[in-house]
Structure 1
Amino acid sequence: MPSAIEAQDKIKNLQEKIIDQTKKTLGEENVSENFINNLTKALENVSDNQMKSAELTKNFELGIENDLTKVMIQQNLASLGFQMTLNVRNKVLSAYKDIMNMPV
């Protein structure tokens, strides 16, 4: 039966292999920066959709915009983006709590 130290060494070796393979697949760019940039772009996209929705709604109320369908589609798009963002945040927080509650 392998000892805990041997098991940890095997896990560490597997992690290093995965990291090396990921670097080969993605290139040598910084993976964490790429993730942060993608997350930032996604949040900016959600924010832009919400601002467009608010602008179209205001214009419809003022009589500038006459296409109710366009307004409703933009509102639903903004709502879905926001709901998705909340769900991702909740999953990340749940995963963080699970990791923090793991015994050492």
Structure 2
Amino acid sequence: MTSIMPKIQDTQNSVKELQEKIIRQSKETLGEQNVTAEFVNSLTNAIQNVSDTQMKSAELTKNFELGIENDLTKVMIQQQLAGLGFQMTLNVRNKVLSAYKDIMNMPV
């Protein structure tokens, strides 16, 4: 579970860099209008939720290993939720990057 945390951090950093790049280019295109949209906030909240789920999963796993938590089903369900959330985040990131590349390669 600890090997996933650096991947989550890398994903969060990639998304943050992409957000900043989109905002910067939008400001150049639209002038100094406020381009910080609800999309950025929604994306940030979604990433934070995935991170929280990963942390909860890691904590439940640790507690199970130490004998504090004795409900294996609860631990396994939380691990599956964390894994699915992480996979979804990676897929969204890949789609956003692909769309960004497609837009950047469009002839003007």
Shorter-normalised TM-score: what interval? 0.5 to 0.7
Corresponding residue for 2:17?
none
CA RMSD of aligned residues (A): 1.4
Change over 3 Å in CA distance of 1:91–1:74 after alignment to 2: same
Corresponding residue for 1:44?
48
Corresponding residue for 2:104?
100
Change over 3 Å in CA distance of 1:33–1:103 after alignment to 2: closer
1:58 aligns with 2:62: yes
Which aligned pairs between 1:10-21 and structure 2 lie closer than 5 A? none
- TM-score normalized by the length of structure 2: 0.65
Corresponding residue for 1:12?
none
- TM-score normalized by the length of structure 1: 0.67
Structure number, greater radius of gyration: 1
What is the CA–CA distance in structure 2 between the aligned matches of 1:51 and 1:95, rounded to whole Å? 30
Task: List gaps (5 residues or longer) in structure 1.
Answer: 1-29
Q: Whose relative contact order is higher, 1 or 2, with alpha carbons under 8 Å and at least 6 apart? A: 2
**CA displacement at 1:38 relative to structure 2:** 1.2
Moved over 6 A (4+): none
Q: How many residues align?
A: 75
